[in-house]
Amino acid sequence: MSKSKKKKRVLVAMSGGVDSSVALVKVLEMGYEAIGVTLKLWENKDKKTNKVIDSDCNSLDAVNGAKLVCDRLGVHHYTLNFIDLFRNEVVSNFSDEYFSGRTPNPCIRCNSIVKWEALINQLDVFDADMIATGHYAQIKNNNGEFELCKGLDQLKDQSYMLWQIDKKLLEKTILPIGELTKNEVREIAKEYKLENASRSESMDLCFVVDNDYRQFLNEFIPEKVKNIKQGEIINDDGDVIGAHTGYTNYTIGQRKGLGLSFPEPRYVKKILPNDNKIVVSKKAGLLSSGCYISNLNWMKNIKEFPFEFKARIRYNSQGAKAIVTNKNNKFFCEFETPQLAVTPGQSIVFYINDSVAGGGIIE
């Protein structure tokens, strides 16, 4: 049988949750042959019993859930072990970033390096043609130019999380639930009796137990954590106004746990790892009018800068008008109105209408 006559085969990345389960349903409805894969990324072990501790995104439960859904739909399922890749490319970067006083976004890095690049590299093994995931975003084909666009459900849109994916990989990707609302997804799950897919999708980091990243860093790189000492909390003028417990325990915009008492609350404005200092200010002090951007990944061909986009500086932000300039490949983003807590290490994503033009890391 020649390949052109064969049904196209799609690898569906399954977390065991409702979104990826419905993605599988949709892939089958589109007439593709599907194979379910669950990526094993991490194992948290209890130190006393050496038993694996479940985390929402990566648990035995999730794998079993995915297996059950695949079995129900008559589809092969495999668990692919990407633990080494995930540790080296995502978790190490996560801890390095914290040690540089920055706030990383490991899920975005994981999407591009693991869920896209590494998974697409597996296509040959499965003799498959494309991958599919349960992200709320859309890929549109404009005369052979593939565009990454927001998901139809504005409340669930995950295009922000996908800016780092290599543009070339979009043509090998299907995002089957991007045109659905979360309610429609739930309805389909009900219709197909995928009750076990009723688990909520986790927003926590899959490798961090109880979302306690400080404890995680303690265990992941204890030697480095040991060198993190207490230090001074200073204000904008450089006056010492308190003490911090170690700069990795703080993130930009943090208010709680600073141990300061002022009539008007203070927020972490800057982390200075080299001086071992934390700068705090009033809320207004967190506003910034612009930022430099590194690690750019352009999905659209922007011929000339400066260029005006709508920029999102965090997952749940609405976006703000911003002008990006390029001076000798140094990109700077100036917001039309100053933005609160522009956080180094976090992602900034640029949109033209609903389409992702590109993104980068805030410096």
Partner 1 sequence: MKKVYCDISATTPTNHEVVDLMATIQKNFFGNPSSIHKYGQESHAIIEKSRIQVADALNCHQEEIIFTGSGTEANNIALQGFIEPKDHIISTSYEHPSVSNVLKSLKKNKGASLSLVKPDKDGKINPKSIKSLISEKTKLISVMLVNNELGSINDIKKISEISKNKNIILHVDAVQCVGKIPINLNDLRIDLMSLSGHKFYGPKGVGALFIRKGINLKTIIDGGGQELNLRPGTENISGIAGLGLAISKACKNIVNNIQYVKNLENIFIEKLNQYNIEYILHIEDRLPGVLTIGFPGIDGQSLLIALDLKGIAASFGSACSSGTTKASKILLDSGISEDLAKSTLRISFGKIHSKEDILYVAEQLDNIIKRLKK
Q: Which residues in this chain contact partner 1 in the complex, by CB under 8 A?
A: 35, 76, 78-79, 81, 122, 124-127
What three-state secondary structure class fits 363? coil
The nearer residue to partner 1, 122 or 202, going by C-beta atoms, is: 122
- Of 165, 138, 178, 159, the C-alpha closest to 351 is 159
- In whole angstroms, how close is the CB of 138 to partner 1 at the nearest point? 29
φ, ψ of residue 177 in degrees (nearest 5): -105, 5
The nearer residue to partner 1, 8 or 283, going by C-beta atoms, is: 8
The span from the CA of 337 to the CA of 331, in Å, is: 18
311: alpha, beta or left? (left if phi > 0; alpha if psi -120 to 50): beta
The nearer residue to partner 1, 35 or 137, going by C-beta atoms, is: 35
- In whole angstroms, how close is the CB of 328 to partner 1 at the nearest point? 42
Contact criterion met (CB below 8 Å) for 345 and 105 = yes
Give residues with Cβ within 8 angstroms of 179, minimum separation 6: 138, 151, 152
What three-state secondary structure class fits 205? coil
Render the burial of 153-170: b for 16+ CB within 10 Å, e for the rest: beebbbbbbbbbbebebb
* Residue positions annotated with a catalytic role: 110, 206
The nearer residue to partner 1, 123 or 323, going by C-beta atoms, is: 123
- Is 123 exposed, middle or buried, given 0-12, 13-18 or 19+ CB atoms closer than 10 A? middle
Residues β-bridged to residue 233: 242, 278
N- to C-terminal Cα distance for the chain? Answer: 53
- Identity of the amino acid at 180: L
- In whole angstroms, how close is the CB of 125 to partner 1 at the nearest point? 4
The span from the CA of 270 to the CA of 252, in Å, is: 6
The nearer residue to partner 1, 78 or 315, going by C-beta atoms, is: 78
- In whole angstroms, how close is the CB of 78 to partner 1 at the nearest point? 6
The span from the CA of 233 to the CA of 271, in Å, is: 10
- In whole angstroms, how close is the CB of 147 to partner 1 at the nearest point? 31
- In whole angstroms, how close is the CB of 264 to partner 1 at the nearest point? 55
